Amino acid sequence: MDRSDVDWRGYWSALPTPFTPDGSADEDALRALVDLYVRQGVHGLLFNGSTGEWVAQTGAERRRLAEVAVEAVAGRVPLAVGVTSPRLDEACALAAHAERAGADAVLAAPAPGLRPTPAELRAYYEEVFSASGLPAWLYNFPQDAATNVTPGQLRELVELPNVVAVKQSTPDVREFLATVEAVGERAVVFGHMLSRLGLALIEAGYGGDGHFGSGMLLGARQPEFFERAWKGDRDGALAIVETHDALMERLRGDASDGYNWRYGGMQASLKAAMNVLGQPGGAPRRPKLPITDPAALDAIRESLRAAELEVVA
């Protein structure tokens, strides 16, 4: 397989996993969230990536919730299921289950906490992805996995039989561009494309296929950025970029650790914003903590209002 076997591009949302305040998985909220994002025009979905808090779930929960997500999507957009795990046997079992459940793809980051050598990393991906016949995403997120997969390593890994795409989440723009250069002819490459840089790449035909975002706080405007860029509506696309960048600057701050946001953890911050917009964000699961400080919640509301979003809670 290679990029010619799929037609993935545009804005894909990394779904948060809604939990109740007591920590239970909220299946109805997950279904409602999937339906909302599909109705807002998302081009694809990822379940149980970093945004999905997979680390707080048991293997049985991950399998059950993947089934719920597949059911809710009902083939309307492509759905990738994250199968990352520090345990090789569990990652393989999750990949095999994703195929049985009806997912369209699997995605895996390097096993967190293991700091693999290049040989170990290749062996890990060979075994995990061979457990399924689905197209596969390589996921580089060094801020989370503590392992940076270099463009040179990605060039080798995209030669694995069912790898067709790379989710490049490094904060280093140079590394994203080097990834496009290294693997873009063979694999789909997603990175920080909802940006001025992304628009320039689309206009130039340079490469880069799409953007994975955590949730969809701007709703239909996020996939609309790509629709406008593909049609040559530069001004319309730039207006969305400016709104998106301003909102994320207010919510993330300097994000000095490359992960958590200004007012709390990444997942907790996203869910707090979703909840005040009336979206089914739910709560994070411990040890992640919800944002309860009234001043922080007021600041989140003001950030959303500044992006011309209707706050309902």
Query: How far apart (Å, rounded) are the C-alpha atoms in residues 151 and 140?
Result: 10
Does the annotation count 139 as an active-site position? Answer: yes
Give how far Cα 212 sits from Cα of 160, 171, 222, 242, Å.
23, 13, 10, 18
Q: How many Cβ atoms from other residues are within 10 Å of residue 302's Cβ? A: 11
Q: Which residues face 261 on adjacent strands?
A: 264
The one-letter amino acid at 122: R
Query: How far apart (Å, rounded) are the C-alpha atoms in residues 310 and 158?
Result: 42
For residue 173, report the phi and psi dihedrals to the nearest 5 degrees: -60, -40
Q: Which two tokens stand for residue 99?
A: 């195929």
Nearest C-alpha neighbor of 157 from the set 148, 166, 147:
166
Q: Out of 37, 125, 167, 288, which one is annotated catalytic?
A: 167
- Reported as half-sphere exposure (CB side, CA atoms, 13 A), residue 156 has a value of 11
Put residue 48 in one of left, alpha, beta given phi > 0 → left and psi -120 to 50 → alpha. Answer: left
Does the annotation count 125 as an active-site position? Answer: no
Q: Out of 37, 125, 139, 263, which one is annotated catalytic?
A: 139
Q: Mapping DSSP to helix (H, G, I), strand (E, B) and coil, where does residue 299 land?
A: helix
Q: How many Cβ atoms from other residues are within 10 Å of residue 2's Cβ? A: 18
Q: Which residues face 89 on adjacent strands?
A: none
Q: For the packed helices 88-101 and 118-130, what is the interaxial angle rounded to 10 degrees?
A: 30
Residues 6 or more apart whose Cβ sits within 8 Å of residue 294? none
Place of tokens 């035909």: 205
**Active-site residue list:** 139, 167
